[in-house]
Structure 1
Amino acid sequence: MDIDLWWLLLFPAFFGLGWLAARVDMRAVLKQAREVPAGFYKGLDALVDDKTDVAARSLAEVARAHPQALEVQLSLGKLYRRRGENDRAIRLHQQVLELPDLSNEQKAQVRFELSQDFHKAGLVDRAEEILVKLLPSQTMGRAAREQLLSIYQQDRDWEKAVATARELRSDAHSFQHEVAQFFCELAQGALYQSDYDKARRYVQEAFAANRKCVRASILLGDIEVAVGQPEAGIAAWQAIEKQNYEYLAMVAERLFDAYESLGKAAEGIALLRGYQRTFSQLELTDLLYQKVATYEGEAKALEAVREAVHARPNLLGVYRLVEAQMDELSPEGRMDAEVARALIMKHAQRLTVHRCKRCNFRSRAFFWHCPACGEWESFTPNRSETH
């Protein structure tokens, strides 16, 4: 009974202490809220409404009144950079670096922002110089490497990009996909210079980084054909079927040309037909029509186009289907078909595009490196009809 009475007495005491703690915390919060300058809330409100000019003026007032408030200074600098006022961002961050009592971590943070300012202003060398000095930093070292990797890709300095990506490698992100693409860029450059041995070494490095790198297989086929080995080129390109069959359309014409150079045009056509039937989404209709018409006649070409269009209806296929039958029409019917064909082609050119699977950027040209979001190998190899 005595123990039960003690517990009854302690319960009110616990509630009282909790109430007192809550009151103390609330008073502290209210005191801090009253100390925040009104200009800060005004600037925040302007940012919500996307009024960056008003936000910049309000935050600048707060920054002048509280020069020691590092977070406010950095936010203002980012806002200047976002608005394209790079000179103001650079001056602000340089002034912040002169503030007394900044810790090493704070200085590293400000220098990183300054490097961003220089990069945005096009002063890439200045940005790189700062970032290289930040590499030993515990707090900003990784961010500096990531920014350097972006700079090296922009400058097409693929050797440095490879080294930096390997330094960034972690369990969360191996960077093997990117490294393979960097080696492919080096191989492409060597191939342009007809340095086939160097190009082959870079391709092997790409495969070592990512054995499923389609681009490396494409380049290897190009190298083999360039050195007079079309059979090896065919083997390299056909390997794409196991890596990612969607890219077969990109090498289809090269495959046929290699077969043709060996005097095996029929085998080349048979291969294209096989791909068309197995992978109906490949863009092979136009190429197949041309090659079949050349070697087997218009009737067989029409049959091939009709089969492809029925398997996967698309504007370009319908264009070829109409064109293939125009000779059989009356003069009046041919005129009508010509109008329909022109209209189909106009809409096909407008709607048929490659698309980035990451950011949805659209382009009639294919890119290995998306110019909008910077992702590698994200473009659809086969164009799709979009609205």
Structure 2
Amino acid sequence: MELDLWWLLLFPAFFALGWLAARVDMGTVLKQAKALPAGIFKGLDALVDDKTDVAAQSLSEVARQQPQASELALTLGKLYRKRGENDRAIRLHQGMLESPDVTPEGREQVSFELAQDFYRAGLVDRAEEILLGLLAGNMGRKARRQLLDIYQQDRDWLKAIDTARELRGDAHSFQHEVAQFYCELAQGELYRSELGKAREYVAEAFAANRKCVRASLIAGDIEFAAENYPAAIAAWQQIEKQNYEYLSMAAERLFDAYEKLGKPAEGIALLRGYSQAFPQLELSEILYEKVATYEGSARALSVTRDSVHARPSLAGAYRLIEAQIGELVTPEGRSDAELVRALVLKYAQRLTQHRCRRCNFRSRAFFWHCPACGEWESFTPNRSEG
């Protein structure tokens, strides 16, 4: 019972000690805050207002007054780099490396920042040299990530593959990227008509990612170049199981293969089936052209009308106007109809674009590698309006 009473008496003491510790800590914080140079607060305030020139000047003054503030110097270097003042960032980081006060861990961090300075300045070889020297240390993973960006920029796909595999981890396997790197190699060999080597790289791409649509497209292109048209058709039809949205990119290829086999009707039937099963595919234009060639303009108009009604678009509307302008428009109204058709085409070309799913970058051209954010296979294969 006495022990319980002693515990009750200790509770107020614990609260008192906690209050005293909080007061001491707060007093220390306030004391340290008063000791900070005013230039730091001026620089931070300028950064909040996005006045990077004022921030750089303020932090530079503080760094000169306190050379031992390495973290501040690193922040200042990043600010220089953001402003495009790569020469100043390089000089700052090189000066830090010459200081005897920099710790081994700090030297690695400064070296990594210097490599980024060189990379932004276009001195890629010097950046790569520094990053290779950091692979065995604490900055190894960050250095490899930066090296991967360099190898992609230089289109050195074999080094990119090796680096991506070294970066493989539980959070990110990099198999998606590796498959794309092999596709780049396969595409290059296909351009050189080295079909055997291209097949090997496509096989490696599938080994990395069985759902790689681009590998199926290239596999079909290889077989088409080898005049093995049934194999080309089989390769392109695999896209339906991988990601049907990319069938629009294989549509004309598929028809050309059927045409080479002397079976254009089967090619048209396949494309019509895709158009009905997947209305979101961009197939109205190719359907109009091929049906008009083999089945006549009246049949082409009917097929195009069905396609456009299933997936309304400005490009489809243009085709409908074009198909009917000679039959349904009087000679007096023909100039008006021509004007409307020209306007529809103009706005269709302006508004219809591919879009990156990751960063929302838009382009009339399709890219496998987004030029804005660097993501692979993120562009929508079917263009959208607006």
Aligned partner of residue 354 in structure 2, secondary structure = strand
- Following the alignment from structure 2 to structure 1, what is the Cα–Cα distance between the partners of residues 8 and 353? 76
- 1:146-196: CA deviation from partner (whole Å, max 9, x where unpaired): 000000000000000000000000011000000000000000000111100
Q: Which residue of 2 aligns with 1:186?
A: 185
CA contact (8 A) 2:93 2:113 kept: yes
Alpha-carbon distance, 1:2 to partner:
3.8
CA contact (8 A) 2:357 2:379 kept: yes
CA contact (8 A) 1:135 1:145 kept: yes
- Following the alignment from structure 1 to structure 2, what is the Cα–Cα distance between the partners of residues 244 and 307? 24
Q: Which residue of 2 aligns with 1:368?
A: 368
CA 1:196–1:4: 2 relative to 1, 3 Å: closer
Higher mean Cα deviation, 116-125 or 276-285? 276-285
- Following the alignment from structure 2 to structure 1, what is the Cα–Cα distance between the partners of residues 124 and 378? 26
Amino acid across the alignment from 2:188: G
- Following the alignment from structure 1 to structure 2, what is the Cα–Cα distance between the partners of residues 37 and 99? 22
- Following the alignment from structure 1 to structure 2, what is the Cα–Cα distance between the partners of residues 104 and 5? 55
- Following the alignment from structure 1 to structure 2, what is the Cα–Cα distance between the partners of residues 119 and 246? 37
Alpha-carbon distance, 1:3 to partner:
4.3
TM-score for the superposition, normalised by structure 1: 0.98
Structure 1 unpaired stretches of 5+ = none
- Following superposition of structure 1 onto structure 2, how do residues 147-158 of structure 1 map, counting pairs within 5 Å? 147-158=146-157
Q: Does 1:197 align with 2:196?
A: yes
Aligned partner of residue 219 in structure 1, secondary structure = helix
Amino acid across the alignment from 2:185: L
CA contact (8 A) 1:68 1:99 kept: no
Q: Which residue of 2 aligns with 1:303?
A: 302
Amino acid across the alignment from 1:318: A
Q: Which residue of 2 aligns with 1:343?
A: 343
Alpha-carbon distance, 1:24 to partner:
1.4
- Following superposition of structure 1 onto structure 2, how do residues 63-74 of structure 1 map, counting pairs within 5 Å? 63-74=63-74
Structure 2 unpaired stretches of 5+ = none
Aligned partner of residue 39 in structure 2, secondary structure = helix
CA contact (8 A) 1:81 1:120 kept: yes
Q: How many residues align?
A: 385
- Following the alignment from structure 1 to structure 2, what is the Cα–Cα distance between the partners of residues 259 and 129? 52
Alpha-carbon distance, 1:6 to partner:
2.7
- Following the alignment from structure 1 to structure 2, what is the Cα–Cα distance between the partners of residues 105 and 70? 12
CA contact (8 A) 2:96 2:102 kept: no
Alpha-carbon distance, 1:4 to partner:
5.2
Amino acid across the alignment from 2:148: L
Higher mean Cα deviation, 4-13 or 20-29? 4-13
CA contact (8 A) 2:216 2:238 kept: yes
- Following the alignment from structure 1 to structure 2, what is the Cα–Cα distance between the partners of residues 260 and 51? 62
Aligned partner of residue 353 in structure 1, secondary structure = strand
Q: Does 1:263 align with 2:245?
A: no
CA-based RMSD: 1.0
- Following the alignment from structure 1 to structure 2, what is the Cα–Cα distance between the partners of residues 22 and 250? 66
Aligned partner of residue 331 in structure 1, secondary structure = coil
- Following the alignment from structure 2 to structure 1, what is the Cα–Cα distance between the partners of residues 132 and 161? 16
Q: Which residue of 1 aligns with 2:16?
A: 16
Amino acid across the alignment from 2:334: R
- Following the alignment from structure 1 to structure 2, what is the Cα–Cα distance between the partners of residues 10 and 159? 69
Q: Which residue of 2 aligns with 1:141?
A: 140
- Following the alignment from structure 2 to structure 1, what is the Cα–Cα distance between the partners of residues 377 and 314? 26
- Following the alignment from structure 1 to structure 2, what is the Cα–Cα distance between the partners of residues 53 and 101? 28
Alpha-carbon distance, 1:103 to partner:
1.7
Q: Which residue of 2 aligns with 1:75?
A: 75
Aligned partner of residue 102 in structure 2, secondary structure = coil
- Following superposition of structure 1 onto structure 2, how do residues 52-71 of structure 1 map, counting pairs within 5 Å? 52-71=52-71
Q: Which residue of 2 aligns with 1:380?
A: 380
Higher mean Cα deviation, 353-362 or 31-40? 31-40
Amino acid across the alignment from 2:43: G
Amino acid across the alignment from 2:178: V
Q: Which residue of 1 aligns with 2:319?
A: 320
CA contact (8 A) 1:269 1:288 kept: yes
- Following the alignment from structure 2 to structure 1, what is the Cα–Cα distance between the partners of residues 311 and 273? 15
- Following the alignment from structure 1 to structure 2, what is the Cα–Cα distance between the partners of residues 368 and 88? 36
Q: Which residue of 2 aligns with 1:278?
A: 277
- Following superposition of structure 1 onto structure 2, how do residues 41-56 of structure 1 map, counting pairs within 5 Å? 41-56=41-56
Q: Does 1:165 align with 2:175?
A: no
Amino acid across the alignment from 1:313: P
- 1:261-312: CA deviation from partner (whole Å, max 9, x where unpaired): 1100000010111011111111110100010001000110000011011111
Alpha-carbon distance, 1:30 to partner:
1.3
- Following the alignment from structure 2 to structure 1, what is the Cα–Cα distance between the partners of residues 264 and 271? 11
- Following superposition of structure 1 onto structure 2, how do residues 242-261 of structure 1 map, counting pairs within 5 Å? 242-261=241-260
- 1:98-146: CA deviation from partner (whole Å, max 9, x where unpaired): 1223221110000000000000000000000000000001x21000000
Amino acid across the alignment from 1:144: A
- Following the alignment from structure 1 to structure 2, what is the Cα–Cα distance between the partners of residues 73 and 79? 10
- Following the alignment from structure 2 to structure 1, what is the Cα–Cα distance between the partners of residues 218 and 172? 26
Aligned partner of residue 292 in structure 1, secondary structure = helix
- Following the alignment from structure 1 to structure 2, what is the Cα–Cα distance between the partners of residues 360 and 13? 60
CA contact (8 A) 2:47 2:55 kept: yes
Q: Which residue of 2 aligns with 1:225?
A: 224
Q: Which residue of 2 aligns with 1:104?
A: 104
Alpha-carbon distance, 1:334 to partner:
2.2
Alpha-carbon distance, 1:333 to partner:
2.7
Alpha-carbon distance, 1:210 to partner:
0.2
Q: Which residue of 2 aligns with 1:291?
A: 290
Amino acid across the alignment from 1:178: E
CA contact (8 A) 2:109 2:139 kept: yes
Alpha-carbon distance, 1:8 to partner:
4.3
